[in-house]
Structure 1
Amino acid sequence: MNPAIQQIRAYHARSKHHVNRFAAGPGGLDWAQQPDPFRRYAGAERIALPLRADALDIPFAALQRPAAVAARPLDRTHVGLLFELALGLSAWKALGHTKWALRCNPSSGNLHPTEGYLVCPALPDLAGGVYHYLSCDHALERRAAPPAEPWARAWPGAGAIVGLSSIHWREAWKYGERAYRYCQHDVGHAVAALRYAAAALGWQGQVLDGWGDADIAALLGLDRRVDYAEAEPEAPDLLLWIGPPAHTPAPAPLLEALAGASWAGRANRLSPSHRHWPAIDDAEAAARAPGGVRMADGQGGPAPVLPPLAPPPKDMRAAQVIRQRRSAVDFDGHTHLPAADFFAMLDALLPRPGVPPLDALPWRPRVHGLLFVHRVHGLAPGLYCLPRANGAEDALRAAMRPEWLWDSVPGCPAHIPLRLLLPMDLRAAARLIACHQDIAADSAFSLALLAEFRSTLAQGAWWYRRLFWEAGAIGQTLYLQAEAHGVRGTGIGCFFDDEMHRLLGLQDDTFQDLYHFTVGGAVEDARLMTLPAYGHLDGRN
């Protein structure tokens, strides 16, 4: 077996939680080392972005129809709106003298390891170059100013690039070795958040294929060690192209044009000291993507033609749904979902061309849903399966217990491949598997996201990250679908991996459980005060 694949499989195995022991972690939180949630580049030119989300009147339902939103100009104002709705602050929470920010993109433990960058040609009111997005101030920090003429020639057409990177320490401070997984979830959350925001502006958005990690690091300036002297490094993740799909840029022209750029800014140090986690370093090294690798692949036969998504029952603006998204801390244990709402949420998890956010991923679906249904009107409580790709049901059947039913679900639209495996009250099992957390049992439903693990990793260890990105994108889809249907969701990163595998009857790593999620009627914490996202900017617009 390829050594990198062996190494990433070893990391996955050692980072599993078990009923009798958890993956290696800090054992307690050293609050003196809590990472700063905001990366800044001292000395970089700062460009304030306007705050315009309140004025965006696009309904959320329009995002679910291809090309339903007219394209806005690609300029400083609308770039600012893209970042405001994707990676910007959504509110501040306060309890006593403690205050913390929430963002539009979800994050494990609200720690936000994901950093965002803009790479663009000259736009109206914005010079061409490489910028870091500072969410706290809703501003761009100009990291690179390339020579104007070579830079302009390097762009294949109208469009821009959003780059994502991860600061693994932000998660490792709290979660130890398992943190690398959570960083990859958060990349998927951010991709989906960016794709939803782009759709609200009438723009396309797709993860760029063929860019290796070294190329991404060079483009974003992450390989400039002098700019990270004592600061925590950032690992390159991916690039998202905003513009016509036919004109996506290749690495060589942009990197050549960037060679003569002047760079500015030194990264701030997030913690005064750190605990080293060698397993994360090993995983990062094993999963690095070489240049020229392709993610796009076939669909396992012709993709089914799916009907349009049903509009959500509430007529809500896209900006409202996006900015009110929260991770539920507790559920009430009695809210039932209407079956139509449940089916609509699952329908949104089936990829459709031109429908965000799952159209941003250039590969066929490799992550499938196993659902614990607790409280859905008209559905028997029990275990259900949602295969998300052609041929997946046969592979899942072959890997799981032979006694599962695989029955069609009465009332479920025919194009949604939901199957009943076991009719039974499984709230206790859901709670146990989710590290004994009540949120997995007190919700309307919870689910495990099961990945085609062995066959995918056989194509390269770098696919490991992409499986988590897909799981994270599914999670963000469910977050917004829950909000649009009047309930709330939350991701669950703590679960007993192999207990879920034992329940399903999995005998090997053909499939692996990567992420859990749960949806239901949320219980609000009345002790917390909610403050405006950008009230500290004195009404800037």
Structure 2
Amino acid sequence: MTEQQLTATDYHRITSYRRHQLTPHTLDWAHQPMPVKRYPDLPRVPLDRDAKLPVKDYFDLANRRQGIEPSRPDALDSQTLSAAFRLTHDLTARAMHAGTPFYYRSVASAGALYPFEMYLAVHRMQGLDPGVYHHHLFDRSLTTLRRGSLPVIPPVDRGVAATVYITGIFFRSAWKYRNRAYRYVLLDAGHLLENLRLALGALDLSFSIHLDFDDEQAATLLGLDPQREVCLACVHLHGGATGEERPGESEALKPLSAAILQASTVSGQEVAYGDILAIHRSGMGFSGHPAGTLPVKHAIGKQPSSWVDLVAPDRAGSADYVSVLRQRRSRRNFIAAPGPVEGFMAFVDLMAWGGVASSMPMTCRSAITLGFLVGAGMPVPPGFYLPDPAEKRLGRVSEGRLTESMAAACLDQMWLKHAAVHVLFMTDLAALDRNWGPRGYRYAMIEAGRLGQQAYLAATASGWGACGIGAIYDREAADLLDLSSDGALLYLVGTGPVKSR
């Protein structure tokens, strides 16, 4: 029997929410997924809990181009790595909910389900032997999964000291969101990827981001059960001479034990949703040229009729980067309050520049169209706007207070109407399929999540609240924005002033 093949368009439409057509379901609390993977009896390497964290201004860091140009090409050691992991994914607070401890984290996640995991492949690093390690968040340690020399996945023509792999565990999200969960697994991988990108930039490390790789080889390297957990992004940390670490032969990579693969099982009773497996497997190869791009504003049915210059201040203000990470929360108690011109312009400018300066592959950067719904009290009239980062301006597509209508399209979560700005992440599903096949859905959703995490952090640095929304009546929201017939709103982050505690 031939396995079902799904396109990006197929999957998105199959899992679309439609008003009056949602099927209610209850959560199986007895089989709630475990928040951390377990590897019984495997050795752990403690990370340095006292590793020095950099003193950086968030706005300076977020606006700086980062990537493959190193400031300290030989800086990678175990202490620097410890700092990078803390800055990427850390526990920031503890609370008790119904007698059970709940830990806030520096990374946004749909439903606080945190389906992502991080792994490290070490090729050459001071203080850590070559091999594959799993990052244990709660213990701040690395579990040793594999020892010895490794292939560089994906292969590149520069020296690679180590690689960080981001994976997603389907059932952690599917426990709540069922077939729609693949959307949130990808968005959450993007959230984590943005924190990793900023962390490596803050530590002046040289890195490159890759979303195209051999999926099966990556799963074998990391010891994943591909029915349950998959690799979604690879970030090479560069160092050493070009070609010093040459990729090994895939057949030389031996599978890890069944006990290690078993760790991808996070509940005693899991449900495998066929549409999730089908869309992911359909995208395990990619058609089209990986360096291809989509036309600018490809999802929008009509173009701006007027423009407003983004006169951002020379300095948006000051916000300690580490403090911003620790203070990040989902906050939705928005209030109607006037926004200062400087703060609004700086926020919009940072979001518009975020794709350009990110070092993300062009496939991702061109897969998303960024937009803003501006409510009352902001320095520009209410309406739907598109940014032009090259010309430093905002183009108004339509006017009027659309935030209340969008709140209704977001499953009637009417608190959202009070948000000053809705940051919109849109795409053209058919264009994804034409250019890259089903793998294009990964590019778009991961980039939407990455920019969504940026919106959270930028709002926090500005003294605003932020809350991400993936629960959308899909076609209703697209029609409100007058998107093309294949246009889709993938994700929305409401931001703005909130009640002070």
TM class, shorter-chain normalised? 0.7 to 0.9
1:282 paired with 2:278, answer yes
Give the corresponding residue for 2:322: 319
Give the corresponding residue for 2:300: none
Does the CA-based 8 Å contact 2:92-2:326 persist in structure 1?
yes
- Give distance in 2, aligned partners of 1:387 and 1:44: 51
Does the CA-based 8 Å contact 1:210-1:293 persist in structure 2?
no
- Give distance in 1, aligned partners of 2:259 and 2:198: 31
Rate the CA distance shift 1:293–1:380 in 2: closer, same or farther, 3 A: closer
The correspondence of residues 277-426 of structure 1 with structure 2, limited to 5 A, is 277-289=273-285, 295-297=290-292, 313-328=316-331, 330-351=332-353, 355=357, 358-363=358-363, 364-386=365-387, 415-426=391-402
Does the CA-based 8 Å contact 1:43-1:265 persist in structure 2?
no
* Code of the aligned partner of 1:446: H
Rate the CA distance shift 1:422–1:97 in 2: closer, same or farther, 3 A: same
How far apart are residue 368 of structure 1 and its match?
1.4
Does the CA-based 8 Å contact 1:346-1:416 persist in structure 2?
no
Does the CA-based 8 Å contact 1:309-1:348 persist in structure 2?
no
Give the corresponding residue for 1:402: none
- Give distance in 1, aligned partners of 2:188 and 2:163: 19
Helix, strand or coil at the partner of 2:418: coil
Give the corresponding residue for 1:400: none
- Give distance in 1, aligned partners of 2:255 and 2:156: 13
How far apart are residue 254 of structure 1 and its match?
6.8
Residue of 404, 424, 442 corresponding to 2:418: 442
- Give distance in 2, aligned partners of 1:150 and 1:117: 14
Rate the CA distance shift 1:345–1:296 in 2: closer, same or farther, 3 A: farther
Give the corresponding residue for 2:299: none
Give the corresponding residue for 1:270: 266
1:35 paired with 2:4, answer no
The correspondence of residues 39-438 of structure 1 with structure 2, limited to 5 A, is 39-52=37-50, 55-63=53-61, 64-66=63-65, 70-71=71-72, 73-95=75-97, 97-147=99-149, 156-208=158-210, 210-222=212-224, 233-243=228-238, 252-253=247-248, 255=250, 258-259=253-254, 265=260, 267-268=262-263, 269-289=265-285, 295-297=290-292, 313-328=316-331, 330-351=332-353, 355=357, 358-363=358-363, 364-386=365-387, 415-438=391-414
Give the corresponding residue for 1:488: 465
Helix, strand or coil at the partner of 1:377: coil
Does the CA-based 8 Å contact 1:121-1:128 persist in structure 2?
yes
* Code of the aligned partner of 1:186: D
Rate the CA distance shift 1:422–1:66 in 2: closer, same or farther, 3 A: closer
How far apart are residue 320 of structure 1 and its match?
1.2
Helix, strand or coil at the partner of 2:180: helix
How far apart are residue 167 of structure 1 and its match?
0.6
How far apart are residue 503 of structure 1 and its match?
1.7
How many positions carry a matched residue from both structures? Answer: 479
How far apart are residue 73 of structure 1 and its match?
1.9
Rate the CA distance shift 1:491–1:354 in 2: closer, same or farther, 3 A: closer
How far apart are residue 348 of structure 1 and its match?
2.0
- Give distance in 2, aligned partners of 1:46 and 1:60: 33
Does the CA-based 8 Å contact 1:41-1:266 persist in structure 2?
no
Helix, strand or coil at the partner of 2:132: strand
Rate the CA distance shift 1:32–1:353 in 2: closer, same or farther, 3 A: closer
Rate the CA distance shift 1:378–1:77 in 2: closer, same or farther, 3 A: same
- Give distance in 2, aligned partners of 1:242 and 1:321: 24
Per the normalisation by structure 1, the TM-score is 0.79
* RMSD (Å), alpha carbons: 3.6
Helix, strand or coil at the partner of 2:391: coil
How far apart are residue 480 of structure 1 and its match?
1.1
Does the CA-based 8 Å contact 1:119-1:128 persist in structure 2?
yes
CA displacement 1:165-198 (0-9 Å, x = unmatched): 1111000111111111111111111111110111
Per the normalisation by structure 2, the TM-score is 0.85
- Give distance in 1, aligned partners of 2:215 and 2:45: 27
Does the CA-based 8 Å contact 1:369-1:448 persist in structure 2?
yes
Does the CA-based 8 Å contact 1:146-1:260 persist in structure 2?
no
- Give distance in 2, aligned partners of 1:286 and 1:51: 41
Does the CA-based 8 Å contact 2:339-2:379 persist in structure 1?
no
CA displacement 1:493-528 (0-9 Å, x = unmatched): 11111011222334521x22111111012347x7xx
Structure 1 stretches lacking a partner, 5+ long: 226-231, 302-306, 389-413, 527-541
Give the corresponding residue for 1:409: none
Helix, strand or coil at the partner of 1:418: strand
Helix, strand or coil at the partner of 2:438: coil
CA displacement 1:33-78 (0-9 Å, x = unmatched): 1111111222221011012467432222331334799538211111
* Code of the aligned partner of 2:233: L
Helix, strand or coil at the partner of 1:142: strand
- Give distance in 1, aligned partners of 2:201 and 2:258: 32
Give the corresponding residue for 1:394: none
Does the CA-based 8 Å contact 1:205-1:241 persist in structure 2?
yes
- Give distance in 2, aligned partners of 1:237 and 1:143: 19
Does the CA-based 8 Å contact 1:332-1:521 persist in structure 2?
yes
Helix, strand or coil at the partner of 1:458: helix
- Give distance in 2, aligned partners of 1:49 and 1:288: 33
Does the CA-based 8 Å contact 2:376-2:401 persist in structure 1?
no
Does the CA-based 8 Å contact 2:120-2:135 persist in structure 1?
yes
